[in-house]
């Protein structure tokens, strides 16, 4: 912001010079002329802020939101330490250094994270809406559900959305052998690399169901984080993991790529419900990946040579 101001100040000085050489604009009665460069810069900066706000107000109105969504704070420089939620551990979780399973990011920022699963509905209006409102979200894709129009998700990725792993065939993983689970997760990693050029480190098991083999398999496929969710938003209601029905800082919210064939409304209808509630409660929408450290960093616990567990 300071750099922006300096640039603006320089621009103002430059325009001040040309103004001196040419005609001066006579201010309306009672107003002081803005001829000091710093004052001009501030005025220009303030009018830019006003313009940016006006754009957000217009976008919120265009998409039928009750209020303008709050802006998220900048991504934390120091990433929070992600631990497995109590009661969500598997046997040997710590000892095998398995990926953490969590529903909330430990943060004081008043943010929640939007995650969208599967990939059945491919609504272009949804892409326009999120772009227009500048709301971040993360996708968890299942190969079988996206492949009839995988380019839709390429557009999403081009707009800065991370495409994460939700297995190839969306099976109930604990019902499969370790090898079967590994195939579901690793094949999706290969698919995402082939189609979108990236191998994510985030994975969410279908239905949120997993066992020890799931986490061992996920780790061996390069997965570092297993985010579940604290709330789920549908087109016509919310569901909560906690009994009190409150949002908390860092909560991960789940929803799905669904349209009129799956529920009574469109993706934009669902996003409206989501944003109206989140904004009314004083929360902004953050980007989940911004709160997760680089898994390529030093291994937690400092054990040398991270080996893939099991094969
Ligand atoms: Zn799913």
Q: What is the DSSP string of 95-152?
A: TTTPPPEESB---SSSEEEEEEEE-----HHHHHHHHHHT---EEEE-HHHHGGGHHH
12: pLDDT strictly greater than 80? no
Question: What radius of gyration do the chain's Cα atoms show?
Answer: 24
Task: Give the containing element (helix H, strand E) for 305.
Answer: none
- CB distance 11 to 37 below 8 Å: no
Picking from 94, 115, 119, 117, the residue whose alpha carbon sits closest to that of residue 103 is: 115
Percent of the chain having pLDDT more than 70?
Answer: 84
Q: Determine the 3-state secondary structure of 168 from DSSP.
A: coil
Q: How remote is the CA of residue 92 from the centroid of ligand 1, in Å? A: 26
Nearest to 284 by CA among 5, 56, 6, 14: 56
Query: How far is the centre of ligand 1, averaged over its atoms, from the C-alpha of 208 (Å)?
Result: 8
CA distance 163 to 154: 9
Say how many Å lie between the CA of residue 144 and the centre of ligand 1.
11
- At 302 the pLDDT is 35
pLDDT exceeds 70 at position 16: no
The alpha carbon of 169 and the centre of ligand 1 are apart by a number of angstroms equal to 10
Tell me if 90 sits within 8 A of 215, measured CB to CB: yes
116: CA distance to ligand 1 center in Å? 9
> Which of 31-40, 81-90, 197-206 is predicted with the least confidence, judged by mean pLDDT?
31-40
* Higher-pLDDT residue of 146, 31: 146
Residue with the larger pLDDT of the pair 298 and 144: 144
Give the residue, 49 or 299, on which the prediction is more confident: 49
Instruction: Name the DSSP class of 259.
Output: -
**Nearest CA to 216 among 91, 309, 87, 83?**
309
CA proximity to 155, closest of 128, 179, 121, 186: 128
Smallest Cα–Cα separation from 221: which of 174, 184, 175?
Answer: 184
Helices (H), the chain: 2-21, 37-62, 124-133, 143-146, 150-158, 178-196, 212-220, 267-280
Residues sharing a CB contact under 8 Å with residue 303, sequence separation 6 or more, in sequence order: 97
Q: What is the pLDDT of residue 109?
A: 96
Q: Average pLDDT of the chain?
A: 88
Q: What is the DSSP letter of 251?
A: B
The mean pLDDT value for 178-186 works out to 98
| Ligand 1 centroid to residue 271 C-alpha, Å | 18
Between 17 and 175, the more confident residue is 175
Contact 99, 122 (CB under 8 A): no
pLDDT at 11 over 50: no
Q: Which residue has the higher pLDDT, 12 or 257?
A: 257
Q: Work out the pLDDT band at 204, boundaries 50, 70, 90.
A: very high
Report CA 77 to chain centroid distance, whole Å.
17
**How much is the pLDDT for 282?**
98
* Per-residue pLDDT at 271 exceeds 60: yes
- What's the pLDDT score for residue 38? 79
Question: How far is the centre of ligand 1, averaged over its atoms, from the C-alpha of 178 (Å)?
Answer: 20
């Amino acid at each position: 912001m300071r750099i922006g101001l300096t640039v603006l100040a320089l621009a103002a000085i430059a325009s001040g010079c040309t103004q001196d050489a040419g005609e001066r604009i006579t201010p309306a009665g009672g107003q002081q002329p803005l001829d000091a460069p710093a004052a001009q810069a501030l005025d220009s900066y303030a009018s830019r802020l006003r313009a940016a706000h006006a754009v957000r107000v217009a976008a919120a109105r265009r998409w039928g939101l009750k209020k303008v969504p709050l802006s998220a704070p900048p991504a934390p420089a120091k990433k929070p330490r992600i631990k497995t939620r109590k009661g969500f551990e598997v046997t040997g979780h710590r000892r095998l250094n398995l990926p953490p399973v969590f529903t909330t990011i430990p943060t004081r920022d008043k943010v929640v994270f939007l995650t969208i699963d599967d990939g059945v509905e491919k609504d272009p209006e949804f892409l326009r809406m999120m772009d227009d409102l500048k709301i971040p979200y993360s996708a968890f894709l299942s190969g079988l559900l996206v492949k009839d129009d995988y380019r839709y998700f390429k557009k999403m990725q081009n707009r800065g959305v991370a495409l994460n792993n939700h297995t190839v065939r969306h099976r109930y993983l604990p019902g499969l052998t370790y090898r079967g689970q590994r195939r579901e997760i690793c094949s999706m990693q290969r698919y995402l690399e082939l189609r979108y050029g990236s191998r994510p480190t985030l994975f969410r098991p279908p239905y949120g169901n997993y066992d020890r083999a799931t986490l061992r398999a996920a780790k061996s496929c390069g997965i570092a984080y297993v985010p579940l969710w604290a709330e789920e938003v549908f087109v016509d209601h919310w569901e909560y993991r906690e009994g009190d029905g409150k949002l908390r800082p860092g909560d991960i919210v789940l929803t799905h790529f669904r349209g009129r064939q799956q529920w009574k409304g469109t993706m934009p209808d669902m996003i409206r419900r989501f944003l109206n509630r989140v904004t009314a409660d004083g929360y902004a929408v953050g980007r989940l990946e911004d709160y997760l450290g680089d898994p390529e960093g030093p291994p937690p616990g400092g054990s040398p040579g991270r080996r893939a567990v099991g094969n």
